[in-house]
Amino acid sequence: MSLSTIPLAVQAVQAVQAVQAVLLLVAANVFMTFAWYGHLKSLANSPWYTAALVSWGIALMEYLLQVPANRIGFHEAGLQVGQLKIMQEVITLAVFVPFSVFFLNEPLKLDYLWAGLCMVGAVYFIFRS
């Protein structure tokens, strides 16, 4: 069904649900970024298994946001699974770059821009049809 055959009110509801899904994905990704990389700074002197257990606890919070985000995006907003995945990857880069620069004190690299441009291409291809 093309977008032009869907009533405007339904399109508006789906747009709101898509925004909900994106906001949940952003929040989930913040938790996941801390779960994956936060221990490199915060638990640098702790045993790996302590870092793993703390990361696992943080990752649980990510799943509590990620699962509803994907369900809302797929079932209610009408997004395809591939679209949800590419959105997640774009959000991952958008969250990771500031995290690595401000939290881990990594240098901001031009490579992040090139990766972002590749993501723009991925977004174009996954959403064009």
Q: The tokens of 26 are what?
A: 């952003």
pLDDT band at 89, cuts 50/70/90? very high
**Is 22:84 a contact under the CB 8 Å cutoff?**
no
CA gap 21, 25 in Å, rounded: 6
**Domain region containing 23:** 3-127
**Is 68:20 a contact under the CB 8 Å cutoff?**
no
| Backbone torsions φ then ψ of 47, nearest 5 degrees | -60, 155
Domain count, the chain: 1
pLDDT band at 33, cuts 50/70/90? very high
Instruction: Look up the pTM and report it.
Output: 0.86
pLDDT at 3 exceeding the cut of 80: no
